[in-house]
Structure 1
Amino acid sequence: MRHLYLHVPFCPTLCPYCDFHVVRRGPGLVERYLERLAAEAAELHARRPGELTTLYLGGGTPSYLRDRELERLFAALPWPLAPGAEVTLEANPGTLSPARLEQLRSLGVNRISLGVQSFQDPVLARLGRAHKGRGALRAAEEALAAGFRVSLDLILGLPVQDVAADLETAAALGVGHVSAYTLQVEAGTPFALAGLEPDPDREAEAFELAREVLGRAGLARYEVSNFARPGEEARHNLAYWRMAEWGGLGPAASAHFHTPAGPGVAERRTNPPLPRWAAGEPPLREVIGPLEHAKESLMMGLRLREGVDLAGLARRSGLAELGRVLAPAAERLAAGGLLERARARLRPTEAGLDRLHAALLPLWEALEAAYPSDGAS
């Protein structure tokens, strides 16, 4: 295990579009969280020791924790970091300051994922964000000045948003990474209950503009929603998209482990929500068989411009004829401009990244026709 995700569920505000596992602070709640986290980390380390090459603290808002709480959180992690390890912490602009950034550096954080969403006050108000555009600019500038690698999160294609202005502002800051998303209205969120519906045409125009503006600034699209300067790609997220092993700590966190000696190809573990997790309830365990692993690997790998190594996937899944099975569908998708074939690798084109479902579905259908259900559970 070279990669670890740690979920911090606490947030100062609950945004109306968010469907992540987030909660407000409550009396004694953070204390119980930190105690359970230390126990869970010790249990996982006993099974999966070794150095970490990436550590990602997500949420929620990890930077919302107080100074002593952050120190306790990092002290609870027994894994050493490999030389040059990437340590990312998600932060909201209002929770950062020069003093907080100095503390984060002392704890080993070297990359900040900043939840800006927009630099425009009317858009931020519509999204229920607590910060203003000026605060987002200040936080990004201070993090860069303090020596952090900085990634900005932006939501594109929103009503009343000047998309070009947001993208130009992000590019002018000189950050190394931008995650540019369209608004997903998830069931059960306040936005969904209010009947808000995304505008696909507006979103498509926004993404085309993102490719143009960010590309001019040297940030290439390397994943469906992510742009980076060379060498600034999110190494932790690449582990997900490449279906590596990773551990998960905290409520609702997930883990993915290879099981070469077990009944399946891999195992997924998903922690329960905070109250049950804090009480010690174990994670839900799912065995992932060869067919399901192959389908998931295609779904994740084709999000990346680098694509999927079919020979490697055949070895991992044990589906020796996988390349032959996929060849007819891959050829049709290549003729349609959605995929490129290079030896044993399938890569999405720009059109394929934009229409990932259309590129993926024929490949899945070919696998399901060739291989019986593997009984993943």
Structure 2
Amino acid sequence: MRHLYVHVPFCPSICPYCDFHVLTRSSGLVEGYLARLDAEAQELAATYPVDLDTVYLGGGTPSFLRDNELTALVGSVQRHLGWGRLENTLEVNPGTVSAGRAAHWRALGFDRASLGVQSLHDPTLLFLGRRHSAAQARSAAGHLLAQGFRVSGDLITAVAEQPLEEDIQGLHDLGMGHISAYTLTIEPGTEFARRGVTVSDEDERRGFEVTAERLAALGYERYEISNYARPGERSRHNLSYWQNRHYLGLGPGAAGHYPARDSGLLSLRRTSPHLHDWLRGERGTPDLLPPHEWVTDALFMGLRLREGVDLDDLTQRSGVAVAAAYAPAIQSNVQQGLLIRDGSRLRATEAGWWVLNEVVTDFLEVDVGAHQADS
């Protein structure tokens, strides 16, 4: 197990578009969280061989933890599971950053920061329910870069009246080596959904296209459908998801992808329950993946990458003759200009990225029972 995701569910406030497992802190809750996290880290270490390349603290708002709390969390991870050799990322809210705190996070061993800028336009931030200002975001980026962090800036697109080109240029000018650009999505159960907020098809399409055009012109490579990087700035941790690798999930609401011990299965996914059940020691029900389900997962995730997937590699890893099993779906989407097949390499076109969920649906409908690869 070379990758670890740690979920920190605490936030200073809940954004109206957020459907992640997050909550505001209350007396004793963080202390209980840290104690349970230490015990769960020990359990994972006893269950799986661990040699970490990457660690990612997400949330929630990990940088909302007080300095002593984050120090304790990192201590638990390092004591039981070690630390990432290649990359250690901390998700950061701009309103939590100071020069001193950035130095403290760097001293703890974090070398990459994912900064939740979302926009550099104060009216857009107000609409999104963000509590930081554009000025705070600029200041935060400066503090992190001054400490030697590799910094990724989050950007939300498709917000009505958002000056998107200015936001993109602003993130570039701040010195972001990596930008993650996500369309505003209205999820059921969120405050935006209750208020009847909608995202127009026109704004969604414009955000998708303008972001790609402007960031390419500024020298960023679009290496994944929503992620852009300068040379050497790709997220090594997130690549483990898109390449369908195994990874540990630590904390309430954390998802993990683990090897299966049953020879008839290829792997299992497990999402931990929300905080209060997790504090009682509940683990969540595993989702067991036979080889054909693992392959469709790998296709769904891998086709998000610019280089796509290597069908021979998927065959070797799954035991399913992938090119043969999915030949009709591959051919149909190639003919429609949504996929490109180059030898064993299969990747999505720009048009295919726009309708990727529909493309993957074609693969889900395939019966692969007769297509076991030769041993």
Quick check: 216-225 or 3-12, which moved more? 216-225
Post-superposition Cα deviations, 1:29-56, rounded to whole Å, max 9, x if no partner, equal 0000000000000111112243210000
Distance in 2 (CA, whole Å) between partners of 1:7 and 1:59 is: 5
Please name the residue that 1:286 is paired with: 287
Partners of 2:275 and 2:87 lie apart in 1 by 27
Deviation at 1:82, TM superposition (A): 5.1
Provide Cα deviations, 1:90-121, integer angstroms capped at 9, x if missing partner.
Answer: 01001011101111111100000001110111
C-alpha separation in 1, matches of 2:131 and 2:204 = 24
Report the Cα distance in structure 1 between the residues aligned to 2:281 and 2:260, rounded to whole angstroms.
24
Matches within 5 A, 1:234-313: 234-259=235-260, 261-313=262-314
Deviations 1:311-342 (A, max 9, x none): 1212222213x211222332232222111111
Superimposed CA distance per residue, residues 251-281 of structure 1 (whole angstroms, 9 cap, x where no aligned partner): 0111101226533111111111100101111
Identity percentage over the alignment?
A: 49
Contact kept, 8 Å, 2:267 with 2:290, in 1: the verdict is yes
Distance between the aligned counterparts of 1:347 and 1:304, measured in 2? 8
Q: Which amino acid aligns with 1:62?
A: P
Partner letter of residue 2 of structure 1?
A: R
Equivalent residue for 1:202?
Answer: 203
Is this contact kept in 1: 2:329–2:363, CA < 8 A?
Answer: yes
Match of 2:83 in 1: 81
Task: Tell me if 1:152 matches 2:153.
Answer: yes
Q: Is the Cα–Cα contact under 8 Å of residues 49 and 79 in structure 1 kept in the other structure?
A: no
Number of residues of Structure 1 aligned to a counterpart in Structure 2: 368
CA contact (8 A) 2:55 2:84 kept: no
Matches within 5 A, 1:143-182: 143-182=144-183
Where does residue 23 of structure 2 map in the other structure? 23
DSSP 3-state at the match of 1:155: strand
Q: Retained in 1: the 8 A contact 2:266–2:289?
A: yes
Change (3 A) 1:101 1:308: same
**What corresponds to 2:347 in structure 1?**
347
Task: Give structure 2 stretches of 5+ with no counterpart.
Answer: 371-375
Number of the residue aligned with 1:375? none
The residue type paired with residue 165 of structure 2 is A
* RMSD (Å) for aligned C-alpha atoms: 1.4
For the 8 Å contact 1:33–1:278, the answer to whether it is kept is: yes
- Distance, in Å, in 1 between the alignment partners of 2:166 and 2:235 is 24
Inter-partner Cα distance in structure 2 for 1:117 and 1:3: 26
Give the Cα separation in 2 of the matches to 1:256 and 1:267: 6
CA distance in 1, matches of 2:99, 2:47: 38
Q: Is the 8 A contact 1:122 1:160 kept in 2?
A: no
The separation in 2 between residues aligned to 1:61 and 1:287, in whole angstroms, is 30
After superposition, give the CA deviation of every residue in 1:214-263 in whole Å (9 maximum; x if it has no partner): 11121111111111112211111110111101001100111101226533
Normalised TM-score (structure 1): 0.95
Deviation of 1:310 after TM superposition, in Å, equals 1.1
In 2, Cα distance between equivalents of 1:118 and 1:235: 24
SS of the aligned residue for 1:284 comes to coil
SS of residue in 1 equivalent to 2:117: strand
User: Partners in 1 of 2:262 and 2:15 — Cα distance?
Assistant: 43
> Would you say the 8 A contact 2:41–2:81 is kept in 1?
no
Report if aligned partners of 1:265, 1:289 keep a CA contact under 8 Å in 2: yes
Correspondence for 2:369? 371
Larger deviation: 261-270 or 221-230?
261-270
After superposition, where does 1:219-234 map in structure 2 within 5 Å?
A: 219-234=220-235
1:67 aligns with 67
Distance 1:38 1:332 in 2: 50
2:186 is paired with a residue of what secondary structure? coil
Which stretches in structure 1 are left out of the alignment for 5+ residues? 373-377
Does the CA contact (< 8 Å) of 2:151 and 2:177 recur in 1? Answer: yes
For residue 286 of structure 2, give the secondary structure of its aligned residue in structure 1.
strand
- Which amino acid counterpart does residue 238 of structure 2 have in structure 1? N
Once residues 343 and 5 of structure 2 are traced to their aligned partners in structure 1, the CA distance between those partners, rounded to angstroms, is 34
The equivalent of 1:12 in structure 2 is 12
The 8 Å contact of residues 151 and 175 in structure 1, kept in 2 or not, is answered as yes
The residue identity in structure 2 corresponding to 1:156 is T
Task: Tell me how far apart the structure 2 counterparts of residues 116 and 82 of structure 1 sit (CA, whole Å).
Answer: 25
| Structure 1 counterpart of 2:40 | 40
In 1, distance between residues paired with 2:216 and 2:141? 20
1:138-194 Cα distance to aligned partner (Å, 9 max, x none): 111221121100001110110121111111111222211100011110001010011
